[in-house]
């Protein structure tokens, strides 16, 4: 297949490129920069210049492909709501190029969308349309395309990690350095799911090769690691104490991260593993945090 990949030079996209190529696919990678273009050429991919802000660049990239994987997202969390709406428009543009065909479109969301309420195990067969996370806009956009007959499916992400980057945990390193402690809220029992980068890249490939229209897949290797375990691992790496703070202190301590740090959001991938014969084998989150180079 010729696969158009947005976010092709990002943390996850850059791992998907070689995963697709080694399986015999041709990759058309979207980038906005000359450096990104060179990285794609070096990886063996075709370059497509475009941005999330330019719908025509998205449509033209999708139009020349047999399938589309959409991983690009603007991670400026000071504009999180705005950026979720931007993703909604990007998904609509990609879908417009696929109208009237059965070419697959894989979009990206978060595992939290599969949880009915706080602390409930998220599963693939649940879509909580009342979820308060603004990222719900991505799946709502996918549903619009699905109703129009477009072959859309969703990969929901947990905290994706390797020893160099760990999703929302990476910003916690900067907070811990600034504050001089590695903090968790209350008893630190709230849990975050995780998936190793190599396993996540494989899942995207399997989803575009074997996925079903309307399906939702969870890229989860571990259902839930407690925030206290995470804080303690960061404390070991940074040589800082791991301490508890109250919920009232979270906003001043964590800044924009306060909206996430107290969430209890375990997630399952049992259905995904069965449907796609996907079995995560990568290192655990704590193993990667222990191997991280904090200096």
**Domain range list for the chain:** 2-160+194-221, 163-193+223-267+284-291
Mean pLDDT of the chain: 96
220-236 pLDDT tens trace: 999 999 999 999 999 99
pLDDT for res 119:
84
Q: Decide if pLDDT at 248 tops 80.
A: yes
Q: Percentages helix, strand, coil for the chain, rounded to the nearest 5?
A: 45, 20, 35
Q: Decide if pLDDT at 295 tops 80.
A: no
- Specify the 3-state DSSP secondary structure of 228: helix
163-193+223-267+284-291 architecture in CATH?
A: Alpha-Beta Complex (3.90)
C-alpha dihedral (8, 10, 16, 21), degrees to nearest 10:
50
pLDDT for res 21:
98
Higher-confidence residue of 132 and 213: namely: 213
Residue with tokens 């109250």, as numbered in its chain:
246
Q: Is 2-160+194-221 assigned to CATH 3.30.465.10?
A: no
Maximal CA-CA distance, the chain? 57
21 contacts 44 by C-beta, under 8 angstroms: yes
What letters, b where the CB count within 10 A reaches 16 and e where it falls short, cover 112-123? bbbbeeeeebbb
Q: What whole-number distance in Å separates Cα of residue 138 and Cα of residue 72?
A: 12
Mean of the pLDDT values across residues 127-135? Answer: 85
pLDDT for res 118:
77
Q: Decide if pLDDT at 267 tops 80.
A: yes
């Amino acid at each position: 297949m010729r696969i158009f990949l947005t976010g092709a030079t990002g943390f996850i996209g850059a791992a998907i490129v070689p995963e697709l190529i080694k399986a015999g696919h041709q990759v058309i990678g979207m980038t906005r920069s000359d450096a990104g273009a060179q990285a794609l050429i070096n990886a063996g991919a075709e370059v497509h210049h475009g941005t999330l802000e330019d719908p025509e660049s998205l449509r033209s990239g999708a139009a020349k492909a047999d399938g589309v994987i959409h991983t690009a997202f603007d991670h400026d969390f000071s504009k999180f709501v705005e950026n979720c709406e931007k993703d909604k428009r990007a998904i609509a543009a990609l879908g417009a190029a696929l109208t009237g065909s059965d070419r697959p479109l894989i979009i990206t969301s978060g595992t939290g969308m599969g949880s009915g309420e706080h602390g409930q195990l998220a599963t693939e067969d649940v879509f909580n349309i009342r979820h308060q996370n603004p990222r719900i806009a991505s799946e709502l956009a996918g549903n619009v395309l699905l109703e129009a007959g477009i072959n859309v499916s969703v990969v929901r992400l947990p905290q994706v990690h390797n020893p160099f980057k760990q999703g929302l945990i990476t910003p916690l390193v900067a907070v811990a350095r600034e504050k001089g402690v590695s903090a968790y809220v209350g008893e630190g029992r709230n849990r975050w799911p995780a998936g190793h980068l190599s396993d996540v890249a494989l899942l995207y490939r399997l989803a575009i090769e074997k996925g079903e229209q309307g399906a939702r897949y969870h890229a989860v290797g571990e259902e839930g690691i407690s925030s206290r375990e995470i804080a303690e691992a960061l404390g070991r790496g940074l040589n800082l104490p791991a301490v508890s703070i109250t919920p009232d202190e979270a906003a001043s301590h964590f800044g924009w991260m306060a909206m996430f740090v107290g969430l209890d959001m375990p997630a399952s991938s049992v259905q995904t593993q069965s449907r796609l014969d996907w079995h995560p084998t990568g290192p655990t989150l704590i193993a990667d945090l222990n191997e991280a180079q904090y200096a």
